[in-house]
Structure 1
Amino acid sequence: MIDKGLDQQGFIAREGSLDRVPALFGPLVEAARQGIADTFGPDRLHSAYLYGSIPRGTARPGRSDLDLLLALHRPPTPADRADADALEAALDAAHPVVDGGGILLADTATLLGELERYDLGWFTACLCTPLLGPDLAERLPRYRPTSLLARETNGDLALALPRWRASTADPRALNRGISRRLVRTAFTLVMPRWGGWTSDLTASAEIAGGYYPERAGQLRTAARVALDPTGDPELRRMFTEDLGPWLAAEYTAVHGVKAPRP
Structure 2
Amino acid sequence: MNDDRGLNRDGTIAREGSLGRVRAGFAPVVAAARSRIAEVFGPTRLDSAYLYGSIPRGTATPGVSDLDLVLALRGEPTGRDRADADAVEAELDASYGQIDGAGILLFTADTLLSALERHDMGFFVACLCTPLLGDDLAARLPSYRPTSLLARETNGDLCLALPRWRRRAAEATTDSERRALSRVVARRAVRTGFTLIMPQWGGWTSDLTESAELFARYHPHLPERAEQMRLAARTGRAPSADPAVLSLLVDDLAPWLAAEHIAVHGEKAPRP
- TM-score (norm: length of structure 1): 0.98
Per the alignment, residue 244 of structure 1 pairs with: 254
Q: What is the Cα deviation at residue 82 of structure 1?
A: 1.1
| 2:141 alignment counterpart | 140
CA distance in structure 2 between the partners assigned to 1:40 and 1:171 by the alignment: 34
Match of 1:72 in 2: 73
Q: Which amino acid aligns with 2:185?
A: I
Letter paired with 2:65: S
Partner of 1:260: 270
Q: Residue in 1 aligned with 2:240?
A: 230
- Output one character per residue of 1:161-212: Cα deviation in whole Å (capped at 9) or x when no partner: 1100101461111101110000011001100000000010000010011122
Which residue of structure 2 lines up, in the alignment, with residue 208 of structure 1? 215
Q: How does 1:70-149 map to 2 (within 5 A)?
A: 70-149=71-150
Q: How much does 1:252 deviate?
A: 0.6
Q: Which runs of 5+ in 2 are unaligned?
A: none
**Aligned amino acid, residue 93 of structure 1:** A
Distance in 2, Cα, partners of 1:107 & 1:114? 14
Give, as a single letter, the amino acid of the residue that structure 2 aligns with 1:230.
S
Q: Which runs of 4+ in 1 moved over 2 A?
A: none
Give CA-to-partner distance per residue, 1:41-69, whole Å, 9 cap, x none. 00100000001000000000011110000
CA distance in 2, matches of 1:230, 1:98: 19
Identity of aligned residues (%): 66
Alignment of 1:131-170 (within 5 A): 131-167=132-168, 168=171, 170=177
| Offset, 1:101 | 2.3
1:86 Cα offset (Å)? 1.1
> Take 2:51 and 2:25, find their aligned partners in 1: how far apart are those partners?
16
Match of 1:69, SS state, is strand
State the partner residue of 1:186: 193
SS in 2 for 1:68: strand
Partners of 2:13 and 2:127 within 8 A in 1: yes
Partner of 1:23: 24
CA distance in 2, matches of 1:250, 1:228: 26
SS at match of 1:98: coil
| Pairing 1:12–2:19 present | no
The whole-number CA distance in structure 1 between the counterparts of 2:216 and 2:93 is: 35
